[in-house]
Amino acid sequence: MTTDVRPDHPHGERVVYRWPRTRLVPLLGRLVIGLGVTWIVVTVLVAVLDVSGRTWYAAMAAVSLLMLGAAGVLFTRPPAVLELSSDGYRLHNLRGGGTTEAAWSDVTSVTTGQSVAGPVMVLEGRNRPPSVVPLALLGARSSDAQDRVRAFLQTAQRRG
């Protein structure tokens, strides 16, 4: 899990929690296996169809390099999951997460719960569906994220 902390954010501290790399490794492994299988299929087709393999192999090499480059970028800079600032929070790259962003003044409570996918952090607000963040996507930093969310919420409630 990588975390970006930027104290120079214009509205105070900003923290971004990203996917843990341990969750990306299986995904990237499937990508490499898929590329290997595609190379085998192209090689067999070139041999069976008795066509010039030079163009096919060049195309496969280009596709492989692009995909591996994209995988490298994804691994070095995993996708964001949760962004916190003194203004509010924002969810990224979550399906079915409920409300994707809100100001702390709109949040009424933060709880942890259980879903079919495992433990979740639930941010409930006024007149909107709750935001649900799977704690597994926060990795080893899930307790830090929960503590920061509660601290930002308490600070906002003291101000308001």
**Biggest distance spanned by C-alpha atoms of the chain:** 75
3-state secondary structure of 102: strand
User: Of 97 and 131, which is predicted with more confidence?
Assistant: 131
For the chain, what percent of residues have pLDDT higher than 90? Answer: 57
Average pLDDT, the chain: 88
CA dist., res. 140 & res. 138, Å (int)? 7
Q: What is the CATH number of domain 3-20+80-159?
A: 2.30.29.30
Q: Give the per-residue pLDDT at 3.
A: 53
CA dist., res. 37 & res. 31, Å (int)? 10
Rounded average pLDDT over 90-115: 88
Q: Give the number of other Cβ atoms within 10 Å of residue 126's Cβ.
A: 9
CA dist., res. 134 & res. 156, Å (int)? 24
Structure-block tokens of residue 136: 């597994």
157 alpha-carbon distance from chain centroid: 29
Of the candidate ranges 66-70, 78-82, 93-97, 138-142, the one whose mean pLDDT is the lowest: 93-97
Structure-block tokens of residue 146: 């929960």
Q: Give me Rg for the CA atoms of the chain.
A: 22
User: Of 26 and 98, which is predicted with more confidence?
Assistant: 26
CA dist., res. 134 & res. 147, Å (int)? 15
Q: Give the per-residue pLDDT at 158.
A: 83
Q: Give the per-residue pLDDT at 1.
A: 45
CA dist., res. 78 & res. 21, Å (int)? 7
Residues 6+ positions from 66 with CB-CB distance below 8 Å: none
Q: Give the per-residue pLDDT at 157.
A: 82
pLDDT in tens, 109-160: 999 989 887 999 999 988 889 999 999 998 889 999 999 999 999 988 887 6
Whole-prediction pTM value? 0.75
